[in-house]
Structures are given as structure tokens and as C-alpha cells.
Structure 1
Amino acid sequence: MKKRKIPMRKDIVTGEMAPKKELVRIVRDSDGNVSIDETGKKSGRGAYISINVDIAKRAKSEHTFERVFSTKLEDNFYDELIAYVDHKQARKELFEDGK
């Protein structure tokens, strides 16, 4: 059986390449709204961050997405991102143990 190509993306906080499934996509749409793209298919400019709470907290302290998207973001966006990443990390750990 032929091996499938694994799409790789760059984490904008650490600069490391990782499989797309291990990252969360953040998107800025044409109106300038920045949001978490849970499906990975929203239209707009996308950037990726690892499913790691420490990296999400680092993104908040460095205002990474403000720099990448050239827009001002509220702290509650980063708080929402940290909560989402925490949830995804917990699910990942829970279901990896079940294999």
C-alpha cells in the first residue's frame, strides 16, 4: 500500500514544522475578524499553533497573532485560545492512551 503524504505546517510561535492534525488553525477573514478555525476550512488568512497550553500562553504574552495578522486583539481572544488548546490537549492525551 502506498504511503500517504502527511501535510506539514509551521507553528508561528515556535517556528517548528508539525503535522497539520497536531496544530490549531487561527484565521483572519476579509472583514479583519480573527477566530479559531475548528474545521480548518474557513476562508481567510490562516496561521497555525501547536496543541500545547504553554505555547498558547507564550502566544498571549508575545502578542503573536497581533503581529502576524497586523491587527489589535483583545485578551479574551487569547483566553479563549488557551481554553480551546487545553481542551484539545486533554482529548488528545485521553484518546492516545486508549490505543
Structure 2
Amino acid sequence: MKKRKIPMRKDLLSGEMFPKKSLVRIVKQQDNTVAIDPTGKAAGRGAYVALDPAAVQKAKKKQLIEKAFSIKIDPSFYDELFAYVDHQKARQELFGDQA
């Protein structure tokens, strides 16, 4: 049986490569809004973030997502992203890696 290729993506916050399924996609849509894309299929420019709540806090401090998308982002988005990443990480630890 042929081994499947695992798509890799670069984490915006650390610069490391990870399997796509272990990252969360953030998308900048045409109307310059930024949203979390849990499906990974939304239209727009995407960036990937690892499931690390500490890295999200660091990104908020350094405004890394704003720099990546070249737009001003509401601080509440970082709180939403932190909550989502924290939830997904806890879920992954609880249920294991269900791909």
C-alpha cells in the first residue's frame, strides 16, 4: 500500500513546519475581516497557527497577525483565537489525535 503524503504548513508564530491538521487556519477575507477558519477551506488569504495558547498570547503582544495580513485587527479577535486554540488543544489531549 502506498504511503500518503502529509501536507505541511508553516506556523505563523514560530516559523516551524507542522502537519496541516495540527494547525488552525486564520483567513483574511476580501472585505478585510479576519476570521478563524476551522474547515481550512474559506476563501481568502490564509495563515496557520499552532495549537499553543502561549504562542497566541505572544502573537497578541507582538501583533504578528496584523503584520502578516497588513491590516488592523480588533484585540477581541486575539481573545477569540486564544479561546479556540485552548479549546482545541484540550480536546486533542482528551481525545487524542483523531484525524
Q: TM-score, normalised by structure 1?
A: 0.95
Cα deviations by residue, 1:5-56 (Å, 9 ceiling, x for unpaired): 0000000110000000010000001111100001100000000000111111
Counterpart in the other structure of 1:45: 45
SS of the equivalent of 2:26 reads strand
Instruction: Tell me which amino acid in the other structure corresponds to 1:11.
Output: D
Counterpart in the other structure of 1:54: 54
Distance 1:95 1:20 in 2: 18
Counterpart in the other structure of 2:4: 4
Counterpart in the other structure of 2:85: 85
Deviation at 1:59, TM superposition (A): 1.0
Instruction: Tell me which amino acid in the other structure corresponds to 1:69.
Output: F
1:14 and 2:24 matched: no
Aligned residues: 97
Distance 1:14 1:35 in 2: 20
Gaps of 5+ in 2: none
Q: TM-score, normalised by structure 2?
A: 0.95
Instruction: Tell me which amino acid in the other structure corresponds to 1:82.
Output: F
* 10-19 or 54-63, larger mean C-alpha shift: 54-63
Distance 1:43 1:74 in 2: 20
